[in-house]
Structure 1
Amino acid sequence: MDQQENSKLLEAARCLNAVETICVKKELSKKLTSQPFSYLLVLDFEATCWSKEDDFKAPNEVIECPCVLYHVETNRIVSEFQLYVRPVENPILSEFCMKLTGIRQSQVDGGFPLDVSLMLFKKWLEEMRKRFALSYDIYSSAENKCIFATWSDWDLGVCLKRESQRKRITLPEMFTTWIDVRAIYCSHYLRKPKGLYGALQELGLEFVGREHCGLDDARNTAKLIGAMLADGVLLERTPSF
């Protein structure tokens, strides 16, 4: 039976109401991808740093703590947090660091040290938990499970982990588990982008704001996550290490 005969039979069947046409919207197919988390705490620390040419080198200290609460289902940021943190091991920022991050010496001088900053951050996290009925226990059966999401493992797996160990700061359990957005991006798209900026470009998105401003980086990471979800990416947590 050729294509023309097929078309005639299909048209006859439609006239007899023997054919049901089902329209599958692209948006619906996207929603069918079941995500394990309802909310994401998208975080991007900025820290003390020095240029490759600088003779002085020291361990990183967090100088900006920004985080946005991202709602997966609606693909939007529902709350934001930001504060500047005062470094105490090396309190004077390098010229390279200030140029890279846009953070001024006066901003960190007016901030709190890491232990107090984390207390304020945890206070905000508790407010978000109550406001949106969140569960930070990723193993629970709660509906609104929430987890950190970062562009790479550096923020929580390297920077904060090492600094808290040096300063003998005990971190809550939730700070030891997160989603590595970069690793999932590379695995899904089978390519390694040139940073967050490059990943956004590859998906046809524009970076809004200033690169290496922690809050802008967090906002743009959330935007990237939205595009990845639309492509059917499953946001699984990074295995502990």
Structure 2
Amino acid sequence: MGFRKLGLVKTITVDIRSLRRCGVQTFDFLFVLDFESTCWAAFDVNKGLPEIIEFSVVLYDISDDKIIEEFQQYVMPVENPKLSEFCKDFTGITQQQVENAVPLGTCLMVFGKWVNEQKKKYNLNFLHISKEPAKKQVVFATWSNWDLNTCLNSECKRKRLNKSEIFNAWIDLKFLYKEHYHRKPVGLKGALTEVGLNFNGREHSGLHDARNTAALAGKMIIDGVLLQITKDISCNH
């Protein structure tokens, strides 16, 4: 008679999704960030340097696989205050929205206050700044290096704005995606499609892109991707 018939074997159902989330990831939460900026058509001779016009971040809980907080702020461009028709069509952001918005410096202060509220509420710590093992570890995550390196870093330097050290290290999910799946996706929407997910909302809306990037991060974790910092520019400051 087998052990199962004797009642000596207990069947345990294991949730693979939960199992893969527990105890293997360095980070507990992600600040998933996406910017929209001023932009121009390829043939436009009046192109300028990109200025952030939408600053959106979602706080993603890795263990629960869900977004728990959101931040969105429209930003007023000052170098090129009038949006191109291409930019308005591409991002869905109107001229009135940016004219009623705040300058980048103010946005950074408002966002810093919001981040501090989340740190206190969820007991968060940026690992690249200080090592506090009793706290939950958080880091920024983006789709490519463009947002935090090319865009924010360059704009803050041009405008002589103080930029918090929290922005100096991040996870480039696009890089990890290519490393893990061994393929180059066609944009965020293409990456989602390739792993069996749908893009929800409007493409090139910063908040919608951030939400979808968080969803992609969750799927990548399920598929065995270890989230790790891929870019750290702390030494450049």
Q: Same fold (TM over 0.5)?
A: yes
Structure 2 Cα separation of the partners of residues 31 and 217 of structure 1: 23
2:22·2:63 contact (CA, 8 Å) conserved in 1?
no
Q: Which runs of 5+ in 1 are unaligned?
A: 1-11
Same amino acid, percent of matched pairs: 47
Q: Which runs of 5+ in 2 are unaligned?
A: none
Partner residue in 1 for 2:29: 39
The 1:16–1:197 alpha-carbon spacing in structure 2 relative to 1, beyond 3 Å, is closer
Partner residue in 1 for 2:189: 197
1:28 Cα deviation after fit: 4.9
1:27 Cα deviation after fit: 3.5
Written as runs of structure 1 = structure 2, the 5 A alignment for 1:92-241 is 92-138=82-128, 139-140=130-131, 141-241=133-233
1:142 Cα deviation after fit: 3.6
Give the number of the structure whose residues are more often strand, by fraction: 2
Aligned residue identity for 1:154 = W
1:29 Cα deviation after fit: 3.7
Cα RMSD over matched residues? Answer: 1.8
Aligned residue identity for 1:14 = F
2:3 to 7, 10, 14: 14
Size of the aligned set, in residue pairs, is 230
1:17 Cα deviation after fit: 4.7
1:149 Cα deviation after fit: 0.4
> C-alpha offsets along residues 79-132 of structure 1, whole Å, 9 cap, x if unaligned?
000010000001000000000000000000000111111111111111111111
The runs of at least 4 aligned residues of structure 1 exceeding 4 Å deviation read: 15-24
The 1:119–1:28 alpha-carbon spacing in structure 2 relative to 1, beyond 3 Å, is closer
The 1:167–1:104 alpha-carbon spacing in structure 2 relative to 1, beyond 3 Å, is same
The 1:111–1:16 alpha-carbon spacing in structure 2 relative to 1, beyond 3 Å, is closer
Structure 2 Cα separation of the partners of residues 231 and 33 of structure 1: 15
Structure 2 Cα separation of the partners of residues 28 and 105 of structure 1: 45
Q: TM (normalized to structure 2)?
A: 0.91
Aligned residue identity for 1:192 = K
Aligned residue identity for 2:231 = P
Partner residue in 2 for 1:8: none
> C-alpha offsets along residues 13-50 of structure 1, whole Å, 9 cap, x if unaligned?
43785984665623454234611111100000000011
